Structure 1
Amino acid sequence: MHQQLLNNISYFIYLSDEEKEWVCNKFTAREYKKNDYFLREGQVCREVGFIKKGLVRYVVSNDNGEEQTVDFNKELEYTCNYASFLDKSPSRTAIQFIEDATVLVISYDDLQDFYTHLAEGQKFGRLICEFLYVEAIKKVTSLYTSQPEQRYLQFLDAYSDLLPRLPQYYISSYVGVQPPSLSRIRKRLAK
Structure 2
Amino acid sequence: MDDPLITAIKQVIEISPDEEKIIHSLFTLKAYKKGEFFLKEGEVCKYVGFIEKGLVRYYINDDGEERTYGFSKENEFTSNFESFGPQTPSKQIIQALENSSIWTISYENLQKLYEQVKNGERFGRLSIEYVLIKTLKDRNSFHTDSPKSRYEKFIKEHFDLQQRVSQYYIASYVGVKPQSLSRIRKRISL
Deviations 1:82-124 (A, max 9, x none): 1100011110011111111111111001001111211111111
TM-score (norm: length of structure 2): 0.96
SS in structure 2 of the partner of residue 87 of structure 1: coil
Cα-Cα RMSD: 1.2
SS in structure 2 of the partner of residue 96 of structure 1: strand
Q: Does 2:23 align with 1:23?
A: yes
Deviations 1:119-170 (A, max 9, x none): 1111111211221232122122211110100010111122110111111001
* Aligned residue type for 2:24: C
Identical aligned pairs, as a percentage?
45
Cα deviation for residue 187 of structure 1 reads 0.6
Query: Does the aligned pair in 2 maintain the 1:2–1:24 contact within 8 Å?
Result: no
* Aligned residue type for 2:36: D
Residue correspondences, number: 190
1:1-191 residue pairs with structure 2 within 5 A? 3-63=3-63, 65-191=64-190
- Measure the CA separation in 2 of the matches of 1:99 and 1:12: 27
- Measure the CA separation in 1 of the matches of 2:79 and 2:56: 10
SS in structure 2 of the partner of residue 165 of structure 1: coil
* Aligned residue type for 1:190: S
SS in structure 2 of the partner of residue 164 of structure 1: coil
Query: Does the aligned pair in 1 maintain the 2:31–2:102 contact within 8 Å?
Result: yes
More helix as a share of residues = 1
TM-score (norm: length of structure 1): 0.96
Structure 1 segments unaligned to the other structure (5+ residues): none
Deviations 1:158-191 (A, max 9, x none): 2110111111001000000001100110110001
- Measure the CA separation in 2 of the matches of 1:18 and 1:104: 19
SS in structure 2 of the partner of residue 13 of structure 1: coil
Cα deviation for residue 2 of structure 1 reads 7.8
- Measure the CA separation in 1 of the matches of 2:125 and 2:33: 32
